[in-house]
Amino acid sequence: MPTIILDRDGVINHDSDDYIKHPDEWIAIAGSLDGIRRLNQAGYSVCVATNQSGLGRGLFDLEALAMIHQKMRDELEKLGGYIHMIAYCPHHPDAQCSCRKPNTGLLAAINEQFALDPDTTWMVGDTAKDLECAGRMGIRAALVLTGKGQGELQKGAVSRETTPIFENLNAFVEWLLSNR
């Protein structure tokens, strides 16, 4: 089964410079959950790889993160969609861990359960770090302009010449499913 890996904040839900610390702050980007449902229906495994340094910064705890992820799963389930796996980095950016994107620890964890085929696996993110992580893992990457995506493009962190760029997750899904 082909796999799509999604960053969370800025791709599935609205991002916040103050971090998503509570389920009430988790708000889906219009169309993102439907896009995930459509990927599921088309036979894709959908996984999430997300840096959650708010844990390492002491802004929220594992219980709050679990509740946020449960809200995301519950809202998806209402539409008939689901996420197969969520991998997250809990570390502060200064921790020098192997899991914080752009390092590949999160993708390696996903690869243990879902073989990441370079020909069929995509990572969709809103930052250059997401794209770099995918490149280090040898899989394809796409940028969405939601979240930090537009800013990354404007400051030249991502090249239009080498990276597929989409308005949002739903636009990526539409493109992917129409080009199978």
CATH of residue 109: 3.40.50.1000
- pLDDT of residue 1 exceeding 90: no
pLDDT at 151: 95
* pLDDT band for position 163 (cuts 50, 70, 90): very high
Catalytic-residue membership of 9: yes
Nearest-10 Cα torsion for 114, 45, 67, 132: 70
State the average pLDDT for the chain.
97
**Number of domains observed in the structure of the chain:** 1
Residue 50, both tokens:
């997300």
Residue-wise pLDDT tens digits, 122-134: 999 999 999 999 9
> Choosing from 7, 15, 126, 130, which is the catalytic residue?
7
Q: Is the pLDDT of residue 18 over 90?
A: yes
Catalytic residue among 9, 15, 126, 130: 9
Q: Does residue 180 carry a pLDDT above 90?
A: no
Domain boundaries, position 172: 3-178
Closest CA to 11 of 129, 139, 156, 138: 129
Label residue 29 by pLDDT band (50, 70, 90). very high
Enter the pTM of the model.
0.97
